[in-house]
Amino acid sequence: MANIKDIARVAGVSVATVSRALSTPSLVRPKTIERIEAAIADLNYEPNHLAAGLRRQRSDNVIVAVPSIHNPFTSAFVEGIENVARANRMRVLLGITEGDLEALNKYASMIAGKQADGMILLETNLPDIVNNPPAQGKVPPIVAACEYPPELRLPRVRIDNLEACALVVGHLAELGHTAIATITGPIGQYMSQDRLSGYKLGLARARLEFNETLVAPGDFSLQSGYDAMVRLLDGGAEFTAVACANDEMALGALSALQHRGISVPDEVSVAGFDDLRFGAFSSPPLTTVHSPTVEIGEAAMRLMLDALLPADQQPPAREVILPHRLIVRQSTGAPGKRRRKG
């Protein structure tokens, strides 16, 4: 492969001039640039990014840590991140953790190893380095695109899960439901807690009482939504609506109801959260909260770019909260059009 020296020789200039022509063309005479570009085309030159990176101490990679990409929710985030990364000559390195803290820590160490310049978290875990910063040297650029405890001082982007869930419950209450169940995420996760709190807030605002037996925990997966719905149905407590902590579980719940021959929304209303594409095409189409997943990814990457700026022009770490909105489809309706069979 041709290198910068070859180009310099062929173009009859010094390597410095070639380098400048490539990075700051304004400093080079147009005629010279022409000669250089001709040489580049001739020799099929491609700058060696490893060498440039070593010199600049920059890899131009961001590592995105996700529990799993096999999941429409996280992959939309990643798409957003990639969008703005690409526009800023950066690349996205995928780090799949499967929820393993050790894996996450290994990814975090890639920053010290110059494989990546920073990390975006779509995770529920937090790498150790955030809490135990190295004695000398500062914490590497880390951006959170996920719910974390509020006391954590990290640039972050999220939606208002609390209000969004309260909104869904409010919608159900307005329709006339008074016994509203919920299917939650894993109770250990911060985001699940947040959404559960939103559910409670919605109940309180509608002057409905919180009933522990109407809470069925899931793990955000289709199957867990199905299972939770079955538990709710068999639990004996009456309810006419279910607010699910995400669309996947809502879709699973829908499937369980259909399996039992319970009509939605006539007998039970179901609402989801996230606005997956699939929700618009379920039977019946799913009422949900639109979560601007792609935009969250884009905002996260922008925060990352900020964090990567030289220290003297770095804006203060901030929190971006993106707007959500209720999408009413046919899976929710007024209660009691028909009696429950069981």
Partner DNA sequence: TTGTAGGCGTTATCAG
Partner DNA sequence: CTGATAACGCCTACAA
Q: What's the angle, vertex CA 316, arms to CA 138 and CA 295, rounded to 5?
A: 105
20 binds DNA (CB under 7 A): yes
Residue with smaller CB distance to DNA, 44 or 131: 44
Query: At closest approach, how far in Å is the CB of 56 from DNA?
Result: 5
Q: What is the Cα–Cα distance from 42 to 7, expressed in whole angstroms?
A: 9
27 binds DNA (CB under 7 A): yes
251 binding partner (options DNA, its own copies, none; Cβ < 5 to 8 Å by kind): its own copies
Query: At closest approach, how far in Å is the CB of 170 from its own copies?
Result: 27
Which range, of 18-26, 72-80, 235-243, 255-263, touches DNA by CB under 7 A?
A: 18-26
Hey, which residues between 209 and 268 contact its own copies (CB under 8 A)? Answer: 222, 226, 251-252, 254-255, 258
Hey, which residues between 118 and 147 contact its own copies (CB under 8 A)? Answer: 134, 137
Residue with smaller CB distance to DNA, 101 or 309: 309
3 binds DNA (CB under 7 A): yes
Choose which of 9, 37, 43, 52 interacts with DNA (CB under 7 A): 52
Choose which of 34, 38, 51, 234 interacts with DNA (CB under 7 A): 51
Q: What is the 3-state secondary structure (H, E, C) of the chain?
A: CCCHHHHHHHHCCCHHHHHHHHHCHHHCCHHHHHHHHHHHHHHCCCCCHHHHHHHHCCCCEEEEEECCCCCHHHHHHHHHHHHHHHHCCCEEEEEECCCCHHHHHHHHHHHHCCCCCEEEECCCCCCHHHHCCCCCCCCCCEEECCCCCCCCCCCEEEECHHHHHHHHHHHHHHHCCCCEEEEECCCCCHHHHHHHHHHHHHHHHCCCCCCHHHEEECCCCHHHHHHHHHHHHHCCCCCCEEEECCHHHHHHHHHHHHHHCCCCCCCCEEECCECCHHHHHCCCCCEEEECCHHHHHHHHHHHHHHHCCCHHHCCCCCEEEECCEEECCCCCCCCCCCCCCC
Query: At closest approach, how far in Å is the CB of 37 from DNA?
Result: 13
115 binds DNA (CB under 7 A): no
Q: How many residues bind DNA (CB under 7 A)?
A: 30
48 binds DNA (CB under 7 A): yes
Which residues in this chain contact DNA in the complex, by CB under 7 A? 1, 3-5, 12-17, 19-20, 22-23, 26-29, 31-32, 45-48, 51-52, 54-57
Which residues in this chain contact its own copies in the complex, by CB under 8 A? 1, 44, 46-51, 53-54, 57, 59, 61, 68-72, 75-76, 78-79, 82-83, 86, 91-94, 96, 109-110, 112-115, 134, 137, 222, 226, 251-252, 254-255, 258, 277-278, 280-285, 294
